[in-house]
A and B are shown apart, each in its own frame.
Chain A
Amino acid sequence: MAFDSINEFFNMGGYGFYVWLSYGFTALLLVLLTINSKGKDKRIFKQINKRIKREEKLKQVAKRNASVKQNAQSDQKVV
């Protein structure tokens, strides 16, 4: 062990501020990057699901429009 007491450990022989600043920066940047990287695939899956839902809705609307048109045409034929 290079230090005799916990105070000495935090003080780092007078360099405490610089040493803990370095460790703090490193931890902060790596934690932020990890959060961002870990959630990235989930965000993209969400986008894909949104697109699939939109496509399905458009398909349904198109189908309904087509059937309405067909009905209108058959009505005209009856008249």
Chain B
Amino acid sequence: MWKWLHPYANPEVSYHFTGKLIPWFAIISAILLTVGLGMGLLYSPADYQQGNSVRIFYLHVPAAMLSMGLYLGMAIAGLTALVWQMKLAESSIAALAPVGATFTAIALLTGAAWGKPMWGAWWVWDARLTSELILLFLYFGVMALQNAFEDKALAGKAASILALVGVINLPIIHYSVEWWNTLHQGATVSKFEKPSMSIDMLRPFLLSLFGFAFLAGTLVCMRFRAEIIERNSMRPWVKALAKEHN
């Protein structure tokens, strides 16, 4: 496996490889999101209690899942950067943080717009909501540390440490609905039993989940490439590429 992975540790190879991935990810994401959200808005049934407000679910839950998944990815990159001193792992932290922060913000905003009609409040200081807000601040912290140092290596190290320490928040978010009394409903999909949802809702949900995941992949690849050229701007291959963009 190392033999296979090794060439991708080369920034130039990774730059061209992710460049090839971007159009495919973008097309897959566009198809899945159009079909998934179209089905969710037009064809999926209304909830027997929540009526048509349940259509926010197809945005809220994928965004929340991605906000946590992207954080986990960022923390693994942080570990790789600290232990194996891999420069590309630092680039991927810088690429993942803004995308993850955006999905966290979407989860919080759509949650507020769903909470108002269902709970009667845009916001409550409840365990699930508060821990997700802390996730947003962790993302902001990683982004701020990334830009706080002139020296990119030092910035990468500081951001990696924060990303790793913040992992403790992920199980807190996930189990918050069980550990504390909360307004937020329990898990419907991410549990070991069968999802407690009709197949007519599960299908558009899964399609939009993968659609958003591929969109996140597209955006992370774009930012990753920009990070690579910024960190290797003295290399001849980057200078040659820059000449083409003149």
Contact = CB atoms under 8 A, between A and B. Distances in A.
Given A33-B102, A45-B245, A52-B242, A18 B222 contact: no
B45 to A, nearest CB: 6
Interface residues of B, dominant DSSP: helix
A30 B215 contact: yes
A45 B116 contact: no
Chain B interface residue bracket vs A: 35 or more
Interface string B37-60: 100011111100001110110011
Interface stretch (B103-111, B128-136, B154-162, B180-188): B103-111
Interface residues of A, dominant DSSP: helix
A26 B63 contact: yes
A22 B242 contact: no
Contacts of A48: 229, 233, 238-239, 242
Nearest to B212: A30
Contacts of A49: 242-243, 245-246
B195 interface: no
A8 B43 CA distance: 13
Interface string A40-65: 11111111110110000000000000
Interface of A: 1-3, 9, 12-15, 18-19, 21-23, 25-26, 29-30, 33-34, 36-38, 40-49, 51-52
